[in-house]
Amino acid sequence: MNTIESIQKIYIDRALADSPMVRNIEERAPDRIVREYVNDPREILDRYVKGGDLVEKEDLLVYKFPGKFLSTCPGSDGMVCCQYFVINFGLGCLFDCHYCYLQSFLNNPLMTLYGNLDDLFAQVDAHTRGKNFQFRIGTGEYTDSLALEPLTGLSTLLVDYFAQHPNATLELKTKSDNVDNLLELDHRGKTVVAWSINPPELVEAVEPGTASLERRLAAAKKVQEAGYRLAFHLDPLIYYESGRGWERGYHELIEQVFDTIDPNHVAWISTGSFRFTADLKEAIQARFPEDRLTREGESILGADGKHRYFKTIRQDMFRSIKQKIESVDPKLFLYLCMETRRMWEDVFDFVPDSGKNLDALFEERRQFIDGVLGVPPLAGSKSGAGR
């Protein structure tokens, strides 16, 4: 199992020696972690590719990324998209969730962080500032947003930037409980801290290295008390019959969340069923031979090349989750991630025409929470237009 204590070595691109991220690392990383400053990060990447491992979670490379930091969420062919943007500040993850798509996606096993955050912020500025639109920008696409936080203090830099941004909200998405760096920041309501959650029996079985559900919720309560908005992702929703079974497992999970968390702080909840490509199935079965994920709950191949549970199974699961969430608070905002128009119709009696419908719902919820928290309206606060 990999935790922050497993990290042995950090390679640092010499070109970034004076960057805020590297200064943070030098201040925070314990002495036992070896630091090696390198002139040619490409040579380090090549060395790990040649090593042939699928994943390498003990070493980390911080380097100057020359490419695009900001992109639209990749979504999936034929699926309804929620118009989400992602910034990538690194690739690869400390944790080792059995279902993680990175196992079949990465072309380099080494965990990397992009230390040139000034370029990242410049790209976000260029794309978003001056637009009459509230952007939601997430960071948990190719890594966990807070897994390495005790070493990097990266959240302090991101939250500060978004606190000053007039029309963009940051989502930090994690399965850790590394929130201490967030608590004293002047976030101005512009960061949503989100947890991906599953019933504890699944956390234990398929999410090695991550914080337990209790620890995630205790962390969520701390950030709620620090005035942050929260989000939860019941994704991937996993079908299982053993023990108490998926329905009781997820219902009791929702009860546990709202025994701890005030629904009025929850900006959104998403859910999406477990999905996998043929390559991911191969990687899961090779790395976790005992795993039941790709063997339980019959699945079907979708137009986007991903297998999902049969429609009737997904429908039952989504309806059941929706009803349970509505029983807690009908004003909570739930949406489906990477699902078909047909599934939206079946579960919600409503199909978003385009991302703009969903943008309006996100904006409505944001304004509702602003009202509850007494936050003054944002300048240019308007949804679904002007992009």
Residues that bind ligand SF4 (CB under 6 A): 93, 95-97, 100, 102, 143-144, 175
Contact 360, 386 (CB under 8 A): no
Minimum CB distance to ligand SF4, residue 343 (Å): 22
Minimum CB distance to ligand SF4, residue 37 (Å): 27
Minimum CB distance to ligand SF4, residue 173 (Å): 8
Measured CA to CA, the distance from residue 158 to residue 155 in angstroms comes to 5
Measured CA to CA, the distance from residue 322 to residue 348 in angstroms comes to 9
Minimum CB distance to ligand SF4, residue 317 (Å): 19
- β 79-80/70-72 pair status: unpaired
Q: Which one, 235 or 363, has the nearer CB to ligand SF4?
A: 235
Q: Which one, 98 or 366, has the nearer CB to ligand SF4?
A: 98
Q: Which one, 62 or 283, has the nearer CB to ligand SF4?
A: 283
Residues linked to residue 112 through DSSP beta bridges, in sequence order: 61, 91
Minimum CB distance to ligand SF4, residue 17 (Å): 28
Q: Which one, 29 or 97, has the nearer CB to ligand SF4?
A: 97
Omega of the bond prior to 30 within 30 degrees of 0, cis?
no
Q: Which one, 287 or 365, has the nearer CB to ligand SF4?
A: 287
Computed from CA positions of residues 246, 179, 214, 362, in that sequence, does the dihedral angle turn out positive or negative?
Answer: negative
CA atoms within 13 A on the CB side of 202: 28
Other CB atoms within 10 Å distance of the CB of residue 303? 10
Q: Which one, 54 or 126, has the nearer CB to ligand SF4?
A: 54
In a 3-state reduction of DSSP, which class is residue 35?
strand
Which amino acid is residue 107, in one-letter code?
Answer: N
Minimum CB distance to ligand SF4, residue 153 (Å): 19
Which amino acid is residue 82, in one-letter code?
Answer: C
Q: What are phi and psi of 304, to 5 degrees?
A: -90, 10
